[in-house]
Amino acid sequence: MPELPEVETIKNELAPHILGRKFTDATLLWKGIVKSPSIEEFRHRLNGKQITGLFRRGKYLVFNLTDDDLLVIHLKMSGSLLLSHDSSAPPQYTRAVFHLDGGTNIFFRDPRKLGRVWLVKDWRTVTKNLGPEPLEANFTPQVLAQRLRNRKAPIKALLCDQSVIAGIGNMYADEALFAARINPLRPGASLTLEEIESLHRAIRQTLCAAIGNKGASIVSYYRPSGETGTAHFEFKVAHGRNKNCPNCDRPIQRIPVRNRGTYFCPHCQPAS
């Protein structure tokens, strides 16, 4: 958290308020948030830059700036970007404040201090190891099959591996596997073509539905307005501790898969 739907929601809801605006300063309440360049260079280069575009790559948010600079933000596990149009004080756990002309501020709130920012000339230097985007037209069942070929790792772990597919995380991997009726422990290479097609469809449908519901607010994710998303209300198995499967009414099971808590229905998602 936040995963692809949350970052896409943040991008969509920030854009109308910040495109064309200029940075006037950055207050760094926790200096560890800046990965590159130095703190002094970061603030100096950012000052006066206009935001000319905004896009998402995987779980990263990228601001196009004048002079070919790019501000790259990764929210990691607990980050949010909150908009303020007045002089209100930063909320608790704010690690950086990006000041824009006209009195607008973007608060980078991050209780766990895991989020990072970069100011670079080429965003690919930060995101170079990411796999394909699951919602783009060129992500086909054939591409998914190629990414899973000869992979012995559990399919749940592969879906969460950002070098295999960009943007999918723990909860949406659980939801997609449930929708495709695939056991999370199945080796990636064991999936049939029919199962791969079903999983491909489930990935896209799951992510699109979550974007439509403005992301999932399980613990600490907030939209720029401070409101929460509602995608978690539609979850079938993810975070389903002590709940029953909506299909068969049997208990949802939680197991670790490569140190990730994984929720699934053993009856609807059999081992073989």
Residue 133 within a domain: no
Candidate list 2, 134, 154, 224, residue with the active-site label: 2
H-run or E-run covering 39: helix 39-46
Cα separation, 20 vs 4, in Å, equals 25
- What's the pLDDT at 272? 78
Residue 271 within a domain: no
For residues 41 and 97, state if they share a domain.
yes
Residue 67 within a domain: yes
Residue 272 within a domain: no
Candidate list 59, 109, 214, 236, residue with the active-site label: 59
Residue 101 within a domain: yes
Cα separation, 81 vs 73, in Å, equals 10
Residue 193 within a domain: yes
DSSP annotation of 197 reads: H
Give catalytic status of residue 3 as yes or no: yes
Partners of 270 in beta bridges: none
The count of domains in the chain is: 2
How does pLDDT run across 189-223, given as a tens digit for each residue?
999 999 999 999 999 999 999 999 999 998 789 99
CATH code of the domain containing 202: 1.10.8.50
Give catalytic status of residue 214 as yes or no: no
Q: Is this model's pTM higher than 0.75 or not?
A: yes
**Residue ending a domain, choose from 101, 127, 153:** 127
Helices (H) and strands (E) in the chain, counts: 7, 11
Give catalytic status of residue 132 as yes or no: no
Give catalytic status of residue 111 as yes or no: no
Partners of 220 in beta bridges: none
Range of the domain at 225: 141-264
pLDDT higher than threshold 80 for residue 180: yes
How many residues would you count in the chain? 272
Candidate list 35, 90, 260, 266, residue with the active-site label: 260
CB 178 within 8 A of CB 264: yes
Residue 98 within a domain: yes
* Cis peptide preceding 256, ω within 30 of 0: no
How does pLDDT run across 136-147, given as a tens digit for each residue?
999 999 999 999
